[in-house]
Amino acid sequence: LYAYNYRGHLLRAMGRSDDAIEAFQAGAGRAHDARIPAREAFCRLGAAALYLETGKLDDGLNAYSESVELARRANRTDQLAQSLVLLAEALVTCGRASEAIPSLEEAIGVLRRIGQEEPVAAAMAQLAAVQQKTGLPAAENTWREVADLQERLGNKDGHMTALEQLAGLRRAVDRQEAHWLYRRALALATELDDTESEARVRNSLGLLAWQGGELDDAENQLSKAAGLLRRSQNTGELGVVLNGLGAVLTRMDRAVEAGRVLQEALALNKQNQLESAEADSMAALGAASLAGGDAAEAQTWYQQCVQLRRALGDRAGEGWALFRLAEASLQAGESQQATAYAAAALAMG
């Protein structure tokens, strides 16, 4: 039985997925004949992962489900918890996130019974993420539990992630609490010397400050986030952060400076093929041009934004850009054209 498992992993490493699946399935068949459910479950897990990798989603899900039942029959609690978590991950991968919740809840219960706190924390974080993805209010309380548990376990990285996610959920409800949570996450990111996470949290703090009209703080946080991303050469995230910084500078009546920042953001977003962020750059450049008194230039940027949003199938974004284009046209003295753009925006629903 071990030989089949070894052969399966070896063939997988060689890129021979179909042969690897055959090896794992043969091992599962031998284990079934020998009435060793725990070993059969292990082989089913190997085959399941390969099924997903090769796009055979239903076969993968079936193999994971079989592994769960085999581990349950063998009374192997550690293997049962592992199989349940892997089944949940596979369901999320297949776009069936809501179906993953019962598996994760059962896995957490099993892990708690055998006293494995770190795996409990990891499984709870997965549960919270799935609840958040599916819009369940329970996500907030689950993230709170994860944050408390990770803090007690001394897992700073997991604690920081939980605080950051919880802050994201609270920002629309209680800005003050969200700010406090982000600040705690920032302290952990700094302590861990995690540049990427620090930049991400500072960006969130900057956007939170911008929404609250605290423009000086917003500029400070977003500028620091951009500096960290330059240092780590993360140009993809840098373009997104510069979009926010440019918008803040526009709000601060610093349109020329905003234009320079946003031109860089646009170039980076194009370079990294981040089309939605590229459309955001165009919209922000339109706002900066309008704030700087150049309505004609603003029209050009908003027209480009409309075209890109339309190409992306983003009706809400296209409608918003049309309204802004109507405003720019009105300021340019083109009232008839402004009316047409506004009507087109309204027709978007």
The amino acid at 170:
R
Region 75-85: mean pLDDT is 95
The pLDDT of residue 181 is 98
The closest alpha carbon to 62, from 52, 77, 53, belongs to 52
Q: Per-residue pLDDT averaged across 216-226, rounded?
A: 98
Residue pLDDT, tens place only, 228-237: 999 999 999 9
pLDDT given for residue 322 in this prediction: 97
Q: How confident is the model at residue 89 (pLDDT cuts 50, 70, 90)?
A: very high
Q: Which single residue is written with the structure tokens 């031109």?
A: 263
Asked whether 255 and 291 are in contact (CB, 8 A), the reply is yes
Per-residue b or e along 22-45, where b marks 16 or more CB atoms closer than 10 Å to that residue's CB = bbbbbbbebbeeeebbebbbbbbb
Q: What is the pLDDT of residue 1?
A: 61
Contact 291, 329 (CB under 8 A): no
The residue behind tokens 């802004």 is 324
C-alpha separations of 143 from 92, 109, 201, 333 in Å: 18, 17, 17, 52
Across 174-202, average pLDDT: 97
Number of CB atoms found within 10 A of residue 156's CB? 16
285 vs 305: CA distance, rounded Å: 10
pLDDT per position as a tens digit, 237-265: 999 999 999 999 999 999 999 999 999 99
Q: What is the DSSP letter of 214?
A: -
Phi-psi region of 115 (alpha: psi -120 to 50; beta: other; left: phi over 0): left
Region 281-287: mean pLDDT is 98
- For residues 127-138, give the mean pLDDT: 96
- What count of other Cβ atoms lies within 10 Å of the Cβ of residue 343? 11
Q: What percent of the chain has pLDDT over 90?
A: 97
Q: What is the DSSP letter of 116?
A: -
pLDDT band at 349 (very low <50, low <70, confident <90, very high): confident
Q: Which residue has the tokens 């896995």?
A: 107
Q: What is the token pair recorded at 160?
A: 């920081």
Compute the Cα dihedral for 91, 93, 94, 95 and give only its sign: positive
Mean per-residue pLDDT, 170-189: 97
CB 302 within 8 A of CB 334: no
Report the alpha-carbon distance of residue 43 to residue 49 in Å, rounded.
10
Q: In Å, how far from its chain's centre is CA 131?
A: 13
Confidence at residue 80, expressed as pLDDT on a 0 to 100 scale: 96
How confident is the prediction for the chain on average, in pLDDT? 96
pLDDT digits (tens, 9 = 90+) for 149-165: 999 999 999 999 999 99
Mean pLDDT for 269-279 is 98
pLDDT at site 185: 98
Band of the pLDDT at 4, cuts 50, 70, 90?
confident
Q: Token match 């009507």: residue?
A: 343
* Nearest by Cα to 47 from 26, 33, 63, 31: 63
Give residue-wise pLDDT tens across range 10-56: 999 999 999 999 999 999 999 999 999 999 999 999 999 999 999 99
7: burial class by Cβ within 10 Å (0-12, 13-18, 19+)? middle
Structure tokens at 241: 């952060």
Residue type, 5: N
Q: What is the pLDDT at residue 2?
A: 75
Is 288:246 a contact under the CB 8 Å cutoff?
A: yes
- What's the pLDDT band for 3 if we cut at 50, 70, 90? confident
CA-CA distances (angstroms) from residue 74 to 35, 40, 208, 322? Answer: 10, 10, 51, 62
Contacts of 171 (CB under 8 A, 6+ apart): 178, 204, 208, 211
